[in-house]
Structure 1
């Protein structure tokens, strides 16, 4: 086994989920991630915890078959909820043999299925959890990379000094955490403002998401105004959405468009009332993620990007005097900030063309 896989497993156990003796652990993984699952079982055995492997959320053939055969009416599966309620640690591993496996499932069915599983998502988020990636060949193909090149890319981004990354990112936390207003400008297609007053800024250094590499917070729900062109594509439900344009007024999306699969974007925004509001503002800071790979777990962490998510806000990013945005969805979308772009915090430019104020090369 590649020693980097064992290192990956050890980082998950020690850094991301703080694995303890007696923990009940679910590993949710596609079969192509077997090597990482095996390495995790070795670590779990060393610690004296209790593993169970499933493949509930990985876009496998059985998921597609079930959704296509269903009538689109779903109830929360109580047995699955009970399983999560008795779980201490939840580890989700992204990997697939076909990145577009569920592309022919209707958006309406996928949305209904997601809504029925919202209580399970809430319960998972109350555990010690980690979402990570195994470099499977299908994911390498989606990233337009060789398998070996993608393996190097993934493990360079994952197997790193996370204490050092934390210190870098804390520079941005110190700027954003006490702030009131943030403005994002990119070319003549993006100019959006939002308040983050009273909402904590979190330092993602590889705990829940591995790789980490961002700082993020939640906008005050009704404060978002302006237009955003998300000029990097995303994959959602196995389909690509490109050039998403959103216009906000009073915090709500009042118009939208996309160059490709606009119907899927519309379905996301129509999921529920909260799906038309922003639940997250994130700023990428992982310099080992240096190319776009059609994988949001990595792409949103690139150092010259900003991402915003429509839908659910994470509880930890909501101040006690503020109200969080609630939704069954959380869909991240990315703005390239590498050229003709800036981030302003309370009127001061803190990043220009992808370079932060505290990095070498920043220009006033």
Structure 2
């Protein structure tokens, strides 16, 4: 299936004129690092041309398709030594970060199960090797000199995994990204303003702790001081979520996730996590539990880095998509909630986060885990009650939407 030229053009315009630069769009002379597999060629080319037409520059990382029978990554994991699997070309990646103003990833899985049968420990070793790159990016982002964004390109493998036809799968993408609007860039900016209005009301409440309660969840999440709420702001397309980085030390209770997690090419289903004083003390899954435990076993991946809610009134996503980018923004009957195990988003700090030391981040309970930031999603019904810093309580989320005056 191919998108028609008008939809490709609109998709590229959304990514270049809204998504990059944290919702502000590209500026003349900016350099974009564009990453995608060969399956995404038509969108890759449309975005590249849009960057050039806007006066920008490109560094490209155009990758061969990851297909189980012919994947370089799979070949490396099956045949490489530990040193090869853990190889990291630091000067190269430092150069990419130094030269780049914006990173734009086109997410696509030509074969969603291409890593099936590979030991989780090998995948973790490969992922861990990229931790220095993530740190490089984080430091430049802290200085306000780097933005990143993601978008999705549908494949038959992804559609099949989600139980949809390829046409149905792409229909979700088109609707979620407002590509049938006459001016999708303006539409995104309008939606962003509406979401920011909710975000501002949450900030004004000065929340200490959230209590998430439902048939499959009873969880306390401490927000704590020195936090603000954020929305996507162009970092994900689509993004309807509102999120913050909690004080990891104040997470207690149990939560079940009714949506599967796709981690390192593996589907992990029916995840349940139990927290005590911020640490995962029990974890289970009915499918690929070993991959879940391998992920959690990495340093500080057993702590929460993000808590998020999506209001069903904004999201046009109505189907399970077997992809975190879309599933964490699903609307449906009850909206969705997700937490991320691993690294905290430091831009949820309300001050100059570039001036905060590592010791100060730790003192405030911002989790540090450059190797992992893994979103796990639930769309079951829940009520979220905030205990405010003055000791009063207020329901802020019910029946899939925010209830703020």
Q: Which residue of 1 aligns with 2:79?
A: 69
1:320-357: per-residue Cα shift (whole Å, max 9, x none)? 662421111011111223x3x21112232222231332
Between 1:157-166 and 1:259-268, the stretch displaced more is 157-166
Matched, 1:276 2:302: yes
Corresponding residue to 2:344 among 293, 307, 313: 313
Aligned counterparts of 1:176 and 1:325: Cα–Cα separation in 2: 22
Does structure 2 conserve the Cα–Cα contact (< 8 Å) formed by 1:58 and 1:95? no
Asked if 2 retains the 8 angstrom alpha-carbon contact of 1:180 and 1:195, the reply is yes
Residue by residue over 1:15-65, the C-alpha shift from the partner in whole angstroms, topping out at 9 and shown as x without a partner, is 111222322222110111111111112112212222232146985611222
Matches within 5 A, 1:186-225: 186-187=214-215, 189-198=216-225, 199-205=227-233, 207-225=234-252
TM-score of the superposition, structure 1-length normalised? Answer: 0.91
The question of whether the paired residues in 1 share the 8 Å contact of 2:248 and 2:304 is answered with yes
Within 5 Å, which residues of 2 pair with 1:175-254?
A: 175-177=201-203, 178-187=206-215, 189-198=216-225, 199-205=227-233, 207-254=234-281
Deviation at 1:176, TM superposition (A): 2.9
**Partner of 2:287 in structure 1?**
260
Which of 140, 164, 169 is the matching residue for 2:190? 164
Change (3 A) 1:113 1:319: farther
In the TM superposition, what is the alpha-carbon distance from 1:141 to its structure 2 partner?
A: 2.0
How far apart are the structure 1 equivalents of 2:209 and 2:172? 35
* SS in structure 2 at match of 1:275: coil
Cα separation, partners in 2 of 1:96 and 1:163, compared to 1, 3 Å? same
Structure 1 segments unaligned to the other structure (5+ residues): 360-364
Question: Does the aligned pair in 2 maintain the 1:234–1:241 contact within 8 Å?
Answer: yes
Q: Shift in Å at residue 140 of structure 1?
A: 2.0
More moved, 18-27 vs 29-38: 18-27
Is the CA contact 2:169–2:321 (under 8 Å) kept in the aligned structure 1? no
* Conserved 8 A contact 1:233-1:294: yes
1:131-166 Cα deviation digits (max 9, x unpaired): 111123322222221222211210111135222322
How many residues are aligned here?
Answer: 354
Equivalent residue in structure 1 for 2:315, among 287, 291, 298: 287
User: 8 Å contact 1:130–1:208 — kept in the other structure?
Assistant: yes
1:33/1:136 contact within 8 Å kept: no
1:351 aligns with 2:351: no
Distance change >3 Å, CA 84–CA 65, structure 1 → 2: farther
Q: Distance in 2 between matches of 1:105 and 1:55?
A: 24
Q: TM-score, normalised by structure 2?
A: 0.82
User: RMSD of the alignment, in Å?
Assistant: 2.0
Alignment partner of 2:17 out of 14, 17, 22: 14
Q: Which moved more, 1:342-351 or 1:215-224?
A: 342-351
Unpaired stretches in structure 2, ≥5 consecutive residues: 179-183, 352-359, 388-392
